[in-house]
Amino acid sequence: MQISFAPPASVEAGALVLGVFADGVLSNAAAAVDRRSKGALARAVKAAPKFKGGRDETLALYGVAGFDQIVLFGLGKPEDVDAVRLQRAGGAVAALLNHAGVGSATAQFEGIVLAGQGAGAAAAEFAFGARLRAWRFERYRTKEKAEAKPSLKALVIQTSDAAAAKKAFARADAVAQGVFLTRELVSEPANILYPESFAAKAKELEELGVEVEILGEKQMRKLGMGALLGVGQGSARESQLVVLQWKGAGGKRKGEAPVAFVGKGVTFDTGGISLKPGQGMWDMKWDMGGAGVVTGLFKALALRKAKVNAVGVLGLVENMPSGDAQRPGDIVTSMSGQTIEVWNTDAEGRLVLADALWYTQDRFKPKAMVNLATLTGAVIIALGTDHAGLFSNDDALAEKLAAAGKAVEEKLWRLPLGDAYDKQIDSDIADMKNITGSRDAGSIIGAQFLQRFVNKVPWAHLDIAGTTWSGKDTPTVPKGATAFGVRLLERFVTDNYEG
């Protein structure tokens, strides 16, 4: 879909998109059309039983004022209009137009502004939401009826500050491209996306200026990464560790310590010898969601030339049962030198991250380190699919992440860490075990395990098991891979690390 911006101009036909505020108050553009139609829009809004101009509301009208279709979108009270609300409106409108078979449309934004930023910013946020919702994973569709395919090819947004809108949207579209890369990676089946092919996909970021290193099993073995390698030893696919570096801080900040992001990348998780139930196992192709988010984040940072030094580390493995697979009861030695008794081979993500986190803090000495992982089903029991779990050893870092999540509507909820939990993973014959054997506090226990490998670096763990994949559409996220975390971390970097 092509999105463009233009100054306000008369539109006489086709599909027109107009904003409405709470209680049916028409925006300036909508009021102008209402006058032309002798009050038809106001009457339609008044008669509509489920449209009052509220957040996320839409109303389609046909054959009014000479237009094939007029789509009204609700914004609520003018003082409550923020970036997220405009993004959701853009996404809802794009979905409606695609469903209706509309090929092109014009949105008129006179009278709609974003507080403190103006009309151009409002139009850009609307466009960003439309872009996010219009994405579709269709690589493997070979037989689909024409009417089922997306129809919207062009959206023109008229605003009094088209130049500002175009500039703001260019940055937002860079973020969208990062989101789309993550959605693509998470959507791919495991016979296509496995550690080596994932690493090759990450290697493509070199074209954007990202430095990419790929460590194979021989190199990881020399580094002593027994925890990560133990997870992948049952697979015919070779495990990989991918290191991404974006060196965007210039001037006096050129040599400053980076902020680091570490992603769990289990490209398929059978559970290993501790085999998962067959029902629903197909979902385990997205157990690499954390690594997918880090990859998409670096694409976004590179495309918008972020003024930050950042490091990304992806631990990529496939967890399979075989004669060579790790067994419950095995003891592995991590890169840190700490030994781990593996009670359950399906608690594998924390083993991968143990070595990835230690490697990251040991090599790069980051000012802060954030890892993302579809780590535990327990976080879904605790928080459902609306929030991701947040754990941290640093209050200031946790607050910054939570604020960034709130700003982009990728919400986090902080859960505790503490000595009482930590003692539960002590092992009788090794330094620690990877589970407690109890169902209690499963997500906390996973985070507590990870904390043993961060070496006092300001660190946060985001458990995104409940938010990586969605079974339903939302205004800006179509059903399927969500890329939850890309926008959050991009905002986190913008607000805290770019000076």
Q: What whole-number distance in Å separates Cα of residue 432 and Cα of residue 412?
A: 28
pLDDT of residue 499: 77
pLDDT of residue 366: 98
pLDDT of residue 116: 87
Q: Is the pLDDT of residue 44 over 80?
A: yes
Q: What whole-number distance in Å separates Cα of residue 81 and Cα of residue 325?
A: 54
Side chain identity at residue 277, one-letter code: P
**Model confidence at 37, in pLDDT bands (50, 70, 90)?**
very high
pLDDT of residue 147: 77
Count CA atoms closer than 13 A to 282's CA, side-chain side.
Answer: 4
Q: What whole-number distance in Å separates Cα of residue 111 and Cα of residue 299?
A: 35
pLDDT of residue 149: 84
Q: What are phi and psi of 480, to 5 degrees?
A: 120, -140
**Pairing mode of beta strands 331-333, 339-341:** antiparallel
| Least confident among 65-69, 269-273, 295-299, 379-383 | 65-69
Q: Yes or no: say if 289 and 186 are a contact pair by the CB < 8 Å rule.
A: yes
Q: Per residue in 50-92, pLDDT tens?
A: 999 999 999 999 988 889 999 999 999 999 999 999 999 999 9
Q: Yes or no: say if 390 and 375 are a contact pair by the CB < 8 Å rule.
A: no
- Residue 69's SS3 state is strand
Share of the chain above pLDDT 70, in %: 100
Mean pLDDT of 464-484: 97
- Residue 416's SS3 state is coil
DSSP bridge pairs for 212: 244
Residues in the chain: 499
DSSP code at position 285: G
Number of H helices, E strands in the chain: 15, 20
Q: Yes or no: say if 467 and 410 are a contact pair by the CB < 8 Å rule.
A: yes
**Model confidence at 145, in pLDDT bands (50, 70, 90)?**
confident
Q: Is the pLDDT of residue 438 over 90?
A: yes
What are the tokens at 459?
Answer: 């660190």
Site of tokens 């490697």: 359
What are the tokens at 443?
Answer: 């997500």
Q: How far is CA 183 from the centre of its chain?
A: 8
Compute how many other C-beta atoms are within 10 angstroms of the C-beta atom of residue 275: 12
pLDDT of residue 372: 98
pLDDT of residue 143: 87
| Least confident among 4-13, 322-331, 393-402 | 4-13
What are the tokens at 249?
Answer: 């801080």
Mean pLDDT of 357-383: 98
Give catalytic residues, as residue numbers.
276, 350
Q: Is the pLDDT of residue 148 over 90?
A: no
Count CA atoms closer than 13 A to 183's CA, side-chain side.
Answer: 23
First to last CA, the chain: 34
Q: Yes or no: say if 7 and 160 are a contact pair by the CB < 8 Å rule.
A: yes
Q: Is the pLDDT of residue 17 over 80?
A: yes
Q: What whole-number distance in Å separates Cα of residue 241 and Cα of residue 265?
A: 9
Q: Yes or no: say if 383 and 464 are a contact pair by the CB < 8 Å rule.
A: no
Mean pLDDT of 104-125: 95
Q: What whole-number distance in Å separates Cα of residue 184 and Cα of residue 232?
A: 23
Q: What whole-number distance in Å separates Cα of residue 458 and Cα of residue 369?
A: 6
Handedness of CA 62, 63, 66, 68 (dihedral sign): positive
21 Cβ neighbours under 8 A, 6+ residues apart: 27, 53, 74, 75, 76, 77, 78
Q: Is the pLDDT of residue 13 over 90?
A: no
Q: Yes or no: say if 151 and 98 are a contact pair by the CB < 8 Å rule.
A: yes
Q: Per residue in 180-207, pLDDT tens?
A: 999 999 999 999 999 999 999 999 999 9
